[in-house]
Structure 1
Amino acid sequence: MDHERVIRDVTVRLPMASTVVEACRWTVTALARHAPATISVLLHVHDRLRCVAATGSWQVFSTVPPKTGIVGRVYASGETAVVPDVAVDPDYIPVRPDVTAEVCVPVLDPAGRPIGVLDLQWCGPADLGPWRDTAERLAARLGARIVALGGPPAESRSEKLLRHAAALTSASTEWDLFAAAIAAARDVSTLSAAVLVLAGPDGPRLGTPPATPGELEARIRAELTEADPAALDGLVARAHRHGVGYTLGEAGHPPVPDHRPLTRAGVRTLVAVPVGRPDDGGVLLVADERLLRPDPTTVNLLELLAGQAWSCLDRLRSLARLREQANSDPLTGLRHTGPFGQRIAVATPGRTALLAIDVDGFKAVNDTYGHQAGDRVLVRLARALEGALRHGDELYRIGGDEFVAVIEVGRPEEAVRIAERLAEAARQIGRTISVGVALPRPGESPEATLRRADQALYAVKHHGRDGVRLAPA
């Protein structure tokens, strides 16, 4: 193989390439005439190595994280990798089943910084030493041409949308989702501000702001917070009734009344995108204080983004409902055994009191009036006990007619007073309860504390019910 001829054939057209993609494709195509290998060029675009050009292959990875695979290792280190047997290299990413060897060289800019990689993979015998030298010389010429043409290509808007869609899908909380949606809207649209307005039980509300909102974004949020709720209703209703609306960035056109809070904030360009359903969705407002002309493609991308954000929000809320159902008693709505076990596991000795509660005569209610009547008693009692507890106290249903309250107190006498308040709340609805009170001892397990509270409860039962007893310290 005449490697000097290979280099001449590959580099002769590089000066004529008018784009980075052209330069990469010409390099791969010309090199493939001489090298019986699978060849690709990957450049660092945003936060990944993106395949810009490749010869035919059953599978070409569109993007690779910067430290993944042999190509990621070469990019991160800036050092060539010669792999005579890919089967023994743990970093090898299979592209085709018959690959045996690989040469991967960094594509460097004139200052020696990696901007991508040139990768060659063989399916048969190959003299890897000379090919290493040839690939390194070609990568140097390609790197110089890429820099002369302005560097690796920027992300396209569709690539941005895909990246942001992945971020939305991976958001684990509504806060993270709102922050990701706002960042995505600004990035895809190139406008400077984005605000979510969402429907709520008490009227429209602003979605969670990003950690560092921009100046215009902060002004918009302030104006919408102070605005008449009817203005927010109008923004949401308008978007859902008529679809996406946007300005064409022209002066001299008065805004409709719903938009006046935005103009007071300094907005001169606006895209308003409906999010979700009319009854419980909202609107995504993407804005700028410059007079701009959003193009229809940008608006369409924002519509896709809003749809993805709503799907992810709906999923998060559905998961939250499922978790709540899994952690809650379906009859009373109180949390049950699982969450109770987690709570008492972090009980503070001397400060956390457990109140074991049992409904007096409950079996007679079920036997005399039926289980539906018993269920009604439990629901009424649960509401009465919740109302008698202080803010921050927790009530659990851990059995048929068995409840436990977990409260933070300063002294045992305080726990007894709260237990007596619960007993009085039960009497107010025509029922009585027996309550046993216990405070964790140092080194005592939560289960042992609960057993002592139960023993105190049984002592109340033994002495006539309808009362409170503190377990011995």
Structure 2
Amino acid sequence: MDHQQVLRDVTVRLPMASTVAEVCQATVDSLARHTPATIAVLLHVHDRLRCVAATGSWQVFATVAPDAGIVGRVYTGGVAAVAPDVTTDPDHIPVRPDVTAEVCVPVPDPAGRVIGVLDVQWTGPADLAAWRTTAERVAARLGARIVALGGPTESRSEKLLRHAAAMTAAGTEWDLMTAAIGAARDVSTLGAAVLVLGGRGGVRLGAPTVAPGELESRIRAELTEAGPQALRGIIDRAHRYGAGYTLGEAGHPPTVEHEPLLRAGVRTLVTVPVGPAQRGGVLLVADDRLLRPDPTTVNLMELLAGQAWSCLDRLRTLDRLREQASSDPLTGLRHTGPFGKRIATATPGRTALLAIDVDGFKTINDTYGHQTGDRVLVGLARALEGALRQGDELYRTGGDEFVAVIEVSRPEEAVRVAERLTEAARRIGRTISVGVALPRPGESPELTLRRADQALYAVKRQGRDGVRLAAA
């Protein structure tokens, strides 16, 4: 084997390649002319070793963790590895069953920093010592050319795939929207991205990125100033006509819907509909430079918007299911499950439990039927909710039994809230009995509720329609 010829072939071909991917493929092709080995170049791209070029294998791992396999060991250690018998090396990653030997060398940049690995695997005899020397010299030339071309980079489709995985993993709407906006900026390479969302609560701006740039802040300010009607106009236009983009040409006035964006300093804009027209919204990706987005950029933003909506719809569905699981289907109030978790956090001397019972409810059911009884419960639930303060919580814990959990500074405050509840019931033609208890130090929440119930029964015995504070 003429290893000098191998180096000459690589040296001639590398300058002819104009992209990192072409350089890596040229290296693989040059080596493959001189050996029947399985060859791969893996570069470190966004926390993974990504296979940029390969040959001689039925299957290639697209990405490998930086600490996995012989390739990961070489990358993290920066030292070449020679395995004369791969069956004795536990780090060997089998890409074909007949491989017997492997040489893996780091790919350094001109400063000596490892940016990837060159991996060569044989199925038959090979002069591994000579090939190690040749591979190291080839890798040095490869690293220098990669850096000259700008270094290892992700393609935009690879970026989109990575961001899609991050959006799928988002646990809240805020996290999802933040991830989607960051993804739009990264994949499009434009300077700002904003989500405008519709829904039952009206039109609103989605969550901002953690550190929005100046243009993004101006866009949000102008859209907020323009108001919901202007936001709805932008959404309707995108959903009526589809995704659109500017050509980055000066002297062409925007449509009326986009005037707030022009005032914010936008000179380049991509608009993409998100989800259905009534429940969805629009993704705005913009820049204050005069640029010329291409159709591929728009297509990637459409894919991103579709993934974002799919994840958002899933989160909203899960929220609805959780709400249904934790709520009483008749009154909409939370029931015993959430109540148990809430009282477990009761603060001694501060958290008051108000046990509430509807007076004469059994008579209503027996006389007028359960449908009438249900209407009474719904009406009473709304009345009691309206009488509570901001932050107070009301639960339905039984047929005609409710419990309010409130934070107070002293027992008298809890009694006044309970009296407001009895007055609210009277206004709709009903009466209730209320027992009030504040947790004692070291007392379990269940015992506190039992004392509130005992105070309630005392009210019942004294004629109903009243409030009683349990002994401290």
Shift in CA distance, 97/450, structure 1 to aligned 2, threshold 3 Å: farther
Q: Is the 8 A contact 1:39 1:119 kept in 2?
A: yes
What does residue 13 of structure 1 align with?
Answer: 10
What does residue 112 of structure 1 align with?
Answer: 112
Give the number of aligned pairs. Answer: 469
**How many Å apart are 1:409 and its aligned residue?**
0.5
- C-alpha distance in structure 1 between counterparts of 2:352 and 2:82, whole Å: 67
Describe how 1:256-335 pairs up with structure 2 within 5 A. 256-335=255-334
| Unaligned residue ranges in structure 2 (runs of 5+) | none
**Matched AA of 1:43:** L
**Matched AA of 2:116:** G
Q: Is the 8 A contact 2:6 2:34 kept in 1?
A: no
Describe the SS at the equivalent of 1:311: helix
- Which TM-score applies when normalising by structure 1? 0.90
Alignment of 1:247 with 2:246, yes or no, is yes
**Matched AA of 2:78:** G
- Which TM-score applies when normalising by structure 2? 0.90
Shift in CA distance, 90/369, structure 1 to aligned 2, threshold 3 Å: farther
Describe the SS at the equivalent of 1:13: helix
What does residue 149 of structure 2 align with?
Answer: 150
What does residue 41 of structure 1 align with?
Answer: 41
**Matched AA of 1:12:** D
**How many Å apart are 1:94 and its aligned residue?**
5.2
**How many Å apart are 1:43 and its aligned residue?**
0.5
Describe the SS at the equivalent of 1:405: strand
Shift in CA distance, 258/84, structure 1 to aligned 2, threshold 3 Å: same
**How many Å apart are 1:304 and its aligned residue?**
1.6
**How many Å apart are 1:434 and its aligned residue?**
2.1
Shift in CA distance, 246/137, structure 1 to aligned 2, threshold 3 Å: closer
**How many Å apart are 1:134 and its aligned residue?**
5.2
Shift in CA distance, 169/266, structure 1 to aligned 2, threshold 3 Å: same
Deviations 1:356-402 (Å, cap 9, x if unpaired)? 22222222322332222221121111111111111000111122222
Alignment of 1:441 with 2:425, yes or no, is no
**How many Å apart are 1:24 and its aligned residue?**
2.6
**How many Å apart are 1:351 and its aligned residue?**
0.6
**288-297 or 319-328, larger mean C-alpha shift:** 288-297
Describe how 1:26-175 pairs up with structure 2 within 5 A. 26-32=26-32, 38-81=38-81, 93=93, 95-96=95-96, 102-121=102-121, 135-147=135-147, 149-175=148-174
- C-alpha distance in structure 1 between counterparts of 2:70 and 2:456, whole Å: 67
**How many Å apart are 1:7 and its aligned residue?**
6.2
**Matched AA of 2:358:** V
**Matched AA of 1:41:** V
Shift in CA distance, 111/388, structure 1 to aligned 2, threshold 3 Å: same
Shift in CA distance, 7/138, structure 1 to aligned 2, threshold 3 Å: farther
- C-alpha distance in structure 2 between counterparts of 1:221 and 1:410, whole Å: 41
Q: Is the 8 A contact 2:49 2:116 kept in 1?
A: yes
**How many Å apart are 1:41 and its aligned residue?**
1.3
**Matched AA of 1:447:** E
Describe the SS at the equivalent of 2:402: strand
Shift in CA distance, 467/39, structure 1 to aligned 2, threshold 3 Å: same
- C-alpha distance in structure 2 between counterparts of 1:411 and 1:447, whole Å: 21
**How many Å apart are 1:87 and its aligned residue?**
7.2
Deviations 1:151-200 (Å, cap 9, x if unpaired)? 53432222222222222222221112222222222222222121111224
What does residue 221 of structure 1 align with?
Answer: 220
Q: Is the 8 A contact 1:14 1:23 kept in 2?
A: no
- C-alpha distance in structure 2 between counterparts of 1:396 and 1:132, whole Å: 73
**How many Å apart are 1:332 and its aligned residue?**
0.9
Shift in CA distance, 460/144, structure 1 to aligned 2, threshold 3 Å: same
Identity fraction in percent: 78
Deviations 1:284-314 (Å, cap 9, x if unpaired)? 1222222222212212221221121111111
Shift in CA distance, 49/446, structure 1 to aligned 2, threshold 3 Å: same
**Matched AA of 1:420:** E
**How many Å apart are 1:322 and its aligned residue?**
1.1
**How many Å apart are 1:254 and its aligned residue?**
2.0
- C-alpha distance in structure 2 between counterparts of 1:402 and 1:176, whole Å: 38
Alignment of 1:461 with 2:460, yes or no, is yes
**How many Å apart are 1:61 and its aligned residue?**
1.8
- C-alpha distance in structure 2 between counterparts of 1:380 and 1:12, whole Å: 86
Alignment of 1:183 with 2:199, yes or no, is no
**Matched AA of 1:351:** R
Q: Is the 8 A contact 2:188 2:301 kept in 1?
A: yes
- C-alpha distance in structure 1 between counterparts of 2:336 and 2:81, whole Å: 57
Q: Is the 8 A contact 1:200 1:280 kept in 2?
A: yes
- C-alpha distance in structure 2 between counterparts of 1:369 and 1:73, whole Å: 79
**58-67 or 258-267, larger mean C-alpha shift:** 58-67
